[in-house]
Structure 1
Amino acid sequence: MDQLSPNWLTEGLLDFEYKKYVLLAYLQKAGRSFDEKKLYPFLSDLIMHYNNLITIRENKTYVSNLFPKKISKLDLQQFTLEYEKMIADESYMKDVEAILDFAIPKMNESLEEGREIYHGVEENLNIYPIGLVSLNPESGYMMLTRIPSNETTVFSYQITIFESAQEKFRGIKTDFIGDYPLSFTNTLEEIKFQLMKQFRQSANHAAFAVESKMDFPMKETLLPIAKRSLVRYIFRGVA
């Protein structure tokens, strides 16, 4: 089972043994992926599912203490609970509670495994600007290199900022440009110069090297973590 439905807890048969089987099959697949040091998409999915279960538990406890209602539908994607006004079905609530008691610690164990890998990858990254530091680093080039290696993988990047009334969120979009050989003469600085000539229409030529001391899967692990780390590097100390 590669994916777990956002509504896995309430859709289909509400039976403890069945839900246990569904969850363990999913976590087994996630564990195999983590064994191969492939973090995504399982890590982000696990965070979503874990937060959903915590939200359900908190809302279920609060509401059941106030109203004799039965949960009729859980909209996990919107994090809301819909209730029918009727006498509480104690058997139903006990089943939900049993599943939550089993699922939350199991998911947390898998999450901790994924987070440990994430931090290990992050600690092995070295980020630095290539050439002069651009005054507008929100867009440019990211050169991702696995050390030791005789090539670097180049991406263009664009950082976007989303603001709400309470918080500011930063995201990053990357596009693959190509793999470039590295040598004594074809350095990162030389590759940056080649990119400046190739993309003359670009008004910004910020470039950053992201070096990994270990060889991790590019798509599932290294690239996602490199992107997040680059955003933090660029905006370190910026509110």
Structure 2
Amino acid sequence: MAADPVHTAPRPAVTTAHRSPSSLDYYLVLPRPDDPDPTRAVAGLVVEEFTREHDHISTGLHSAGWTPAAGWWSTAALSRSIRTDPDTSARVVPTSRAEAEGHYRTLGGGQLPDDTELRSYLLVHQPIATAAPLRLGPAQPPAGWHERRVYRVLFAKDLHPDQVTSLRASWRTPVDATGASAASGHLEKGGDRFGWELRRVAHTRAWALDVTVLLGAAADDTVGSTLSDLTTVLRQQGLIPVTTERFS
């Protein structure tokens, strides 16, 4: 990986930006093509956590990498290169904490630290620019609903056709669905209604999940968990989340 350290990074002051209690994302770092050990399946780990506003849009990203030789280290360049450098992103694979624990142990790290300790390594904050929500679509919600919101979750990397087919099946996308979306779905949760569409953006170099929310009341407790669940589904297919924006 382009951001592999020579020495452990310095420990600057931890940002005071809000973090959700259980929102760490785990990634496996695959060996370089010229790795001297051809039997090694994984070279290290990356742990990340987004910081968010009260309405769930992204405001920044913390990341830390770990390799057996360097230990834990944190730089903003790491999170950027995962999303912008093709050679780096090709070697980074989203994974679960359970799988990360197994590889961490195999690589000689022992027991993977719990969330609290891992957050102590997420020291460098990469800010994500935010702005007031754009007003796309009607300003007023449909009759009977308290508020209408539209979110977009951007992702790096690509999906294979069979992965899109799998998403269409799991989300029950209508067979005769037309339009620009590759897959879509909907659900009702806690009196709120969600509908989403997955589409290619940025001249087909990225993916976007557009989520329309109709809130039945002033509380938006279901929004954060639903956005997180949908993001997790796409991470399981290999996509890497870049940011969550709000359009209304």
Larger radius of gyration: 1
TM (norm. structure 2) is 0.28
Higher strand share: 2
